[in-house]
Each structure stands twice: as C-alpha cells, then as structure tokens.
C-alpha cells in the first residue's frame, strides 16, 4: 500500500502525520485490498476571521477510486469527519463486492434427491 500525505499552504508535522495514520488504520482494518492512499491537507485563507481547514483523501482500491473531502475550522476535526465518511464508503464498497445471491430453490431440490 502506497501512502502519500501532503500539505497545501501547510507544513505536515509529524504529529499530523501520526494522527492521519492512526485514523487510517480503521479503514485498512475493514478492507485490506487498498492499493494507494493520497491525503491532502489544505488551509484556505478566505478571510481573516474565516480560516477553513480542508482534508481530502483519494483511496484507490481494486476496481474503484474513492474520493472524500471535508472542511472544518479545526484540521483535526476535519480529519475525524473525513475518516468517518471514508469508512462508510469503504464499507459500502465492500458490501457491493460480496456475493449476496443465494442458490436457487430448484438447484437445492436436485441435490437432495
């Protein structure tokens, strides 16, 4: 699994890197077929009073790319909300991959005879 953590108008400190890694463990624990993860942390300077912190993740899994972004006034809160969204999307993708079809009743009857 390749992991890229980068910052835009922001220096990615070791504390931020460790926080993102600890939050990503939950996602990789649910779904182990992750190929590549790109995390982008951004500070948008809109106005002096309204500083927006934004976190984005692009997760490349077998057969699909999942993109999630979240903005908040606090970067750590944005990362928390982002990982919640990402976890829900990864679980939904994992459920779609699983085969939920059951064998037809006709085929079950012929096996018993």
- Quote the percentage of the chain above a pLDDT of 70: 82
Across 41-60, average pLDDT = 82
Across 88-108, average pLDDT = 76
Look at residue 84 and tell me whether its pLDDT is greater than 60.
yes
**Cα separations in angstroms, 4 against 26, 34, 41:** 17, 13, 11
Strand 64-72 to 51-61 pairing: antiparallel
**Alpha helices of 1-113 — where are they, by DSSP H?**
14-30, 75-97, 105-112
Q: Which of 94, 75, 76 is nearest to 86 (CA)?
A: 94
Across 35-55, average pLDDT = 82
8-12, 21-25, 48-52, 72-76: least confidently modelled range = 48-52
pLDDT at 1: 79
Domains and CATH numbers, the chain: 2-112 (3.30.160.100)
Across 45-52, average pLDDT = 68
pLDDT at 34: 84
């Amino acid at each position: 699994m390749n992991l890229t953590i980068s910052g835009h108008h922001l220096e990615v400190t070791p504390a931020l890197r460790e926080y993102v890694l600890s939050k990503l463990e939950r996602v990789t624990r649910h779904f182990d077929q992750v190929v590549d993860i790109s995390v982008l942390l951004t500070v948008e300077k809109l106005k002096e009073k309204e500083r927006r912190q934004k976190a984005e993740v692009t997760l490349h899994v077998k057969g699909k790319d999942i993109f999630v972004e979240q903005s908040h006034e606090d970067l750590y809160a944005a990362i928390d909300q982002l990982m919640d969204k990402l976890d829900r999307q990864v679980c939904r993708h994992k459920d779609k991959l699983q085969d939920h079809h059951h064998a037809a009743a006709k085929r079950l009857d012929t096996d018993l005879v």
